Amino acid sequence: MDSLGEYLKEERLKLKVNLHQIAKETNISLKYLEAIENDEYSAFPGEAYLKGFLRTYCRYIGLDPDEVINKYDRIKIAETPTPIEKLIPKPTSNLKSIIIIMILIIVPLIIAGMILIVHKSYSGQISDNKKKIEKKTVEKKVFEILEPGSKVTFDLKVNNTIIMKSENGNVIYKIKQINPYVIITDNQANDHILFQDKLKDIDFDNNNINDVGLLLNNWDNETANITFSLYSLETALAANTLQPINAVDNEVLLKKDIIEDIKLNIKTISGTYIKYKTDDHDEVETFYNPNTDLKIEAKNRLIVWLSNAGSATFNLKDIAKEYIPGNPGEIAVKVLEWKKNNSGEYELQIGSLN
């Protein structure tokens, strides 16, 4: 099978350019450049980042990025395992005769063996059925939390549903997305982004009292381990009195009496792969050349992915300074979101999903 990494390395060596020079001039981390040439695609946090770096790398050494991406896609398809039925040849006519004879000899032995196995396993049948029931319970799609004041942890997948029955009514949460970040949607069509190890308190009945706490313990590409806390009325009142609702690690960029549109201008210093999502709209992604001005507007929330956080700057309306989202060669995911503080003001906060 062709090696894309070896092909790229050969083209680079023809130019007599080393990886350190490319890393310095493109702001792509050396470890990602080495991973590309070694075909170690698992080193990247997602395929989007890999393709973004490939485009930058190819432009630098004078290759057509689209042709290289197509070559990568073909290699990936070729690595898909062949179904087992296609690997086993069909028996020839001579084999059929042999198989018939073997069946006539072996089938009686198999029947006798099955009778013995059934007899021995009968005593364990009840235990096996119990295990199957328990397994089915673990894998069910809907989880319920009935008692206010309870705290339960689940391993959840996309589209799993949690029904919480509180003193103030029911709320339903559905796992909308797990990779590259975790989003839970409630029955009022509100999306909640979860940060690992950061408790997210939610006031789902809009009475200025937090009813639910969500804590993302860890997650991978398929499963999110989340702890759900259903507050009793007394606990909710105490929690709102003792601590602020907003996460303390988020930076407050500005405060307003009312929510205004988020108007972000991103200026690229060097070639950068950027993806962004405004509110509940579809994601937009592309590679941006150096010295490009990208203007984005959102109502309440904006999420921005950058393959090279140090090669871009953020400028916001009403803020007279530039915000640098990260270091050169660093992959970063930034969230800008309006949140209401305890004083009734709205704060535009910026945080990180990394």
The per-residue pLDDT for 233 is 54
Nearest to 240 by CA among 250, 248, 231: 231
The 3-class secondary structure across 271-310, one letter per residue, is CEEEEEEECCCCCEEEEECCCCEEEEEECCEEEEEECCHH
Express each pLDDT in 11-63 by its tens digit. Answer: 999 988 899 988 888 888 899 999 999 999 888 888 888 888 989 999 999 99
Indicate the pLDDT class of residue 168, thresholds 50, 70 and 90.
low
Nearest to 213 by CA among 138, 197, 344, 222: 197
The per-residue pLDDT for 207 is 56
Provide the token pair at 162.
């949690």
User: In CATH, what number does 4-78 get?
Assistant: 1.10.260.40
Q: Where are the domains of the chain?
A: 4-78, 142-242, 251-352
Nearest to 18 by CA among 53, 59, 60: 60
The per-residue pLDDT for 251 is 86
pLDDT(118) > 70: no
Q: Which residues contact 41 (CB under 8 A, 6 or more apart)?
A: 35, 47, 50
Indicate the pLDDT class of residue 308, thresholds 50, 70 and 90.
confident
Phi-psi region of 16 (alpha: psi -120 to 50; beta: other; left: phi over 0): left
The per-residue pLDDT for 295 is 93
DSSP state of 338: E
The per-residue pLDDT for 244 is 32
- Mean predicted confidence (pLDDT) in 56-72: 90
pLDDT(301) > 50: yes
Over its C-alpha atoms, the chain yields an Rg (Å, rounded) of: 28
The per-residue pLDDT for 197 is 74
pLDDT(1) > 50: no
The per-residue pLDDT for 112 is 64
pLDDT(109) > 80: no
C-beta of residue 164 within 8 angstroms of C-beta of residue 152: no
Indicate the pLDDT class of residue 172, thresholds 50, 70 and 90.
confident
**Could you tell me the sign of the dihedral formed by the alpha carbons of 61, 65, 69, 75, in that order?**
negative
The per-residue pLDDT for 128 is 53
The per-residue pLDDT for 138 is 37
Q: What letter represents residue 187's amino acid?
A: N
C-alpha separations of 255 from 201, 211, 244, 299 in Å: 21, 25, 16, 15
**Could you tell me the sign of the dihedral formed by the alpha carbons of 30, 34, 39, 42, in that order?**
negative
CA dihedral 232, 238, 240, 242 (to 10 degrees): -150
> What distance in Å separates the CA atoms of residue 107 and residue 116, rounded to the nearest whole number?
14
Express each pLDDT in 242-268 by its tens digit. Answer: 333 233 367 888 899 999 999 999 999
- Decide which of 211 and 61 is more confident: 61
DSSP state of 241: H
Angle 170-176-179 (CA atoms, 0-180°, nearest 5)? 145
The length of the chain in residues reads: 354
Average pLDDT, the chain: 78
